[in-house]
Amino acid sequence: MTLLTLIWLPLLAAPLIYLAGRLAGRAREMALLALLAAWVPFGLLVTARGNAAASFTYGAITLQWDGLALLLTLTALGLGTTVTLYSFWQMAAEPGEEKYYAMLTALIGTMIGLGCARDLFNLWLWFEAMAVTSYLLVAFYREQPASLEAGVKYLLQSAAGSVLVLLGIALVLAETGSLDLAPLPPESSFLLRLAGGLFFIGFGVKAALVPLHTWLPDAHAQAPSGISAMLSGVVIMAGLIALLRVLTLLAGDGPIWGWLLLGFAAANITLGNLLALRQTQVKRLLAFSSLAHMGYMLLGLGVAFLLGSRAGAEGSFFHLLSHALLKGAAFLAVGAFLTIFHTFTQDHRPLLISDLAGASHRFPLVALVLSVAVLGLGGLPPLVGFMSKWQILTASFASQNGWIIALVLLAALNSVLSLAYYTPLVNTMYRHKPAAAFAQATALPISMTLPLALLALAILLLGFWPGLVQGIVNNAAGALFP
């Protein structure tokens, strides 16, 4: 019942948060209280179960708590709680504030449910519930045409992907008579391989695999900054975890899926960096960089599926955690600057790199957090981004496969290339004269600066002591490769 409480507490709280906002203007307090309460069953599960799995079965429905579910829950709940507190000041003057907090809380609940699903149909249901809540948050600024366009593009592409996933589920059911997420016999038929291809495309849309990524830059750029952090830090990762769940079902074709993951890794890393390199809008730059970081995760996972190497999967899951911290800190810091800039200009135009001129003179903490985040994304030691990338690259290099080693070299060169678009952000904040928007701005409230400071602290701590989360990533890899 502790597992059920963890999943359903945020979902059942969502309508209450909406009502509290409409009737008493207390949506944000209710949302934060609901998420803090969800940490209680999470802590009980981790404390009582340790590495052991916990499950709940009702009829044909099974929910299971394992290492992969723990990883996704920790990421979603941790970043979601931070974003909720951060949004207190940023969203206070926005119409529909109660809808924002209700949907954000529901989004977190759906991702926890997705991580615990143990059959294909319920995995699809949680995946769709996550998509619906995120649609509404992407198009939150519905009075702006660009926001509506981003929401519609996200809706259409995600819906198309969901249809392909459903077709894949139908093929698996027709071939095996079961929907359980348990490995099938090694001999795979043509229909099962076709189902695997449909899963790759369907879940790949949400995971932003190139060339299925075209919804991502618009959605990240137009959503509220807290939601951009959730999309980049958790939602696309939830799409990846859903894909990994179904690939373990078809484990007999592991080498095929391994090479396919490596191919997508090369495309994501290269195209993501090249597209980010030419961006002048800060949020679009960060959005395209997410493609590259998804590529690093695919590299480690591709090695794991191809060679059965748990080290590659452990590196990928460590990078999932580090990317959530780094990209969460980056988007929230940019959101703070964006709020200041919009208050000064009285419009909602995108924040350009040039708009950050001299930001460090007036807001040193926010500038420092953004600098730490983007340099960590670029892979500079001793930040956590370097440690997670290093683990992926060393595990891949140890394969002694010529093609994989070539891909490792490509990934390493791309990591250096990424500094070509991260460092101008830092340079603009520290070396230019302060822009008028920052010179006249008032101090930011602690509800906005505290989450930024906590994320920066986590980035530094895990960079120096990555062993703090080694047990979590090892258990997540063990859920895929027992």
Q: Has residue 343 got a pLDDT over 80? A: no
Q: Please list, residue by residue across 300-330, b when 16 or more beta carbons sit within 10 angstroms of its beta carbon and e when fewer do.
A: bbbbbbbbebbbbbbbbbbbbbbbbbbbbbb
| pLDDT (mean) for 279-295 | 93
Closest CA to 82 of 239, 222, 230: 230
The pLDDT-based confidence of 185 (bands split at 50, 70, 90) is: low
Q: Taking residues 215-244, what's their average pLDDT?
A: 91
Q: Of 215-224, 253-262, 433-442, give the lowest mean pLDDT range.
A: 433-442
Q: Poorest-confidence range of 44-58, 78-92, 211-225, 345-359?
A: 44-58
Residue 148 confidence class, pLDDT cut points 50, 70, 90: confident
Q: Determine whether 156 is exposed, middle or buried from the number of CB atoms within 10 Å of its CB (0-12, 13-18, 19+).
A: exposed
d(CA 36, CA 100): 18
Burial of 415: CB neighbours in 10 Å, binned 0-12, 13-18, 19+: buried
Say how many C-beta atoms besides its own lie within 10 A of residue 37's C-beta. 13
| Mean pLDDT of the region 423-437 | 83
How would residue 45 be classed by pLDDT, with cut points 50, 70 and 90? confident
pLDDT value for 360: 87
What is the pLDDT at residue 329? 95
Give me the pLDDT at residue 297, please.
Answer: 95
Each residue of 298-339: pLDDT tens digit?
999 999 988 887 899 999 999 999 999 999 999 999 999 988
Q: What is the mean pLDDT of residues 292-300?
A: 94
At 50 the pLDDT is 59
pLDDT score for 220: 86
Q: Write down the pLDDT at residue 313.
A: 92
């290269």: which residue's tokens? 270
Q: Where are the domains of the chain?
A: 253-482
> CA-CA distance, 454 to 468, in Å (whole number)?
16
Percent of the chain whose predicted confidence (pLDDT) is above 70? 96
pLDDT for the residue 436: 75
Whether 19 shows a pLDDT value over 90: the answer reads yes
Residues in the chain, total: 482
pLDDT(409) > 80: yes
* pLDDT for 186: 65
The model's pTM is 0.93
For residues 322 and 147, give the distance between their C-alpha atoms in angstroms, rounded to a whole number: 28
The yes-or-no verdict on residue 49 having pLDDT over 70 is no
Who has greater pLDDT, 194 or 182? 194
Query: Average per-residue pLDDT in the chain?
Result: 89
